[in-house]
A = this chain, B = another copy of it.
Amino acid sequence: MARTSRRAALTHPEPEEIDLFDVLHALSDPTRMTIVRTLSTEPERACGTFPVDVAPSTLSHHFKVLREAGLIHQREEANRRLTALRAAELDARFPGLLAAVLAAYDRTPEAR
């Protein structure tokens, strides 16, 4: 089997495939919530630059959970992987949900 790419292609669910239970599960972890909160105020960010203190393999797992749940979009550019929040698509699928969750998060000790 020919290996034609450096990494497996990044797959993302279509907006209509986004599952509420996957979204809630993805958001039920403090590291993943920090990633989502960070992305909520900027268009795109390189993977190694998030304010989280976890091992690279753990971080990679968290990005995978968020991507497969439909919360983030990732793309390769040169030797960087860039991540963006799928805020508009999420809000079209589940109006107000992400805003309510982020507002709730901002009331927690973890967000301070």
Contact = CB atoms under 8 A, between A and B. Distances in A.
Number of copies: 2
Interface of A: 19-22, 24-25, 27-30, 33, 93-97, 99-101, 103-105, 107-108, 110
A38 B21 CA distance: 17
Contacts of A20: 104-105, 107-108, 110
Nearest to A24: B28
Contacts of A95: 103-104
Contact of A21 (B21, B22, B28, B97): B28
Contact of A107 (B29, B93, B100, B103): B93
Which residue, A21, A22, A30, has most C-beta atoms of chain B within 10 A? Answer: A21
Which residue, A33, A93, A101, A103, has most C-beta atoms of chain B within 10 A? Answer: A101
Contacts of A22: 28
Contacts of A21: 28-30, 33
